Amino acid sequence: MEDLRAQLREVIRKEMEQDPAHDVLHLDRVWAQAHRIAIDEGNVNLRVLLAAAYLHDLVNLPKDHPKRKQASTMSAEKAEPILARLGYSEDEITAAQHAIKAHSYSARIPPKSPEAIILRDADRLDALGAVGIARTFMVAGQMDRPLADPIDPFAADRTLDDQLWSIDHWHLKLLQLPNEMVTRKGRKIARKRARLMLAYLRQLAKEMDTELPSHWAELLQ
């Protein structure tokens, strides 16, 4: 498996357009989490999961790209000849392609295999916790999106809008991810990481000389 992993990492180095939040380290973390979840779940094809973990962002489009929702399907299509060259069978390629397509939050393709479910959980885990905090602000910086509304930073009396404010994205998506995890281990890790993010928000509110509204903490109840 390590030799195959090295080959997949080399493919990524040559063929994937990387950015600070979607680079080989992101793929390494997704694989590490996926592997841990797979061991916990059992009955998983690790070759398929490994391929899907490293190729799921093969076509990496910016968050505001008009074809962003199609990126996972484009990645799956691009992965097919690569996996064939690496000796994957037709059935393994089909399974890896499904997992790649279904991992995407925006594509809304239901995962129908253990590998697809695990990859989706693992990829979403990387949007949470300490790494998730760092990735949020790297992406926001790329998109020139401010941290928060200067009048009402934590939306105590306004409508949340993550197209305008970076922190709003935590409420509208990231802190809701623990409830969308399918695997037992994924849910456990996600809730722990989300609690860390909530603690960060409470400290951020203090440093902004305000309070975090109760509707943030209610997301994790």
pLDDT tens track, the chain, 221 positions: 899 999 999 999 998 888 887 899 999 999 999 999 999 999 999 999 999 999 999 998 877 676 678 889 999 999 999 999 999 999 999 999 999 999 998 888 999 999 999 999 999 999 999 999 999 999 998 889 999 999 999 999 999 999 999 999 999 999 999 999 999 999 999 999 999 999 999 999 999 999 999 999 999 87
**Domain-located, residue 121:** no
Domain endpoint, select from 49, 80, 110:
110
125 in Cβ contact with 33 (< 8 Å) = yes
Residue 185 domain boundaries: 129-220
21 and 86 fall within a common domain: yes
Q: Same structural domain for residues 83 and 20? A: yes
* Inside any domain, residue 118: no
User: Do the domain assignments include residue 99?
Assistant: yes
Regarding whether 143 and 76 lie in a shared domain, the answer is: no
Helix (H/G/I), strand (E/B), else coil: 173: coil
Q: Are residues 106 and 133 in the same domain?
A: no
What pLDDT does residue 18 have? 83
> Which amino acid, one-letter code, is at 31?
W
Kindly state whether residues 105 and 181 are assigned to the same domain.
no
Report yes or no on 115 lying in a domain: no
Domain count, the chain: 2
Residue 190 lies in a domain: yes
CATH classification at residue 53:
1.10.3210.50
Q: Is residue 171, in this structure, part of any structural domain at all?
A: yes
d(CA 103, CA 144): 26
**Are 158 and 77 within one domain?**
no
- Which of 77, 110, 143 is where one domain is finished? 110
Q: Are 71 and 60 in contact (CB under 8 A)?
A: yes
pTM above 0.85, yes or no: yes
pLDDT for 105 equals 86
- Same domain, residue pair 75 and 141: no
The answer to whether residues 87 and 135 belong to one domain is no
Q: Do 101 and 144 share a structural domain?
A: no
Other residues' Cβ atoms within 10 Å of the Cβ of residue 131: 16
Beta strands of 53-132 (E only): which ranges?
none
Please tell me the predicted confidence (pLDDT) of residue 44. Answer: 97
Residue 102 falls inside a structural domain = yes
Q: Are residues 74 and 17 in the same domain?
A: yes
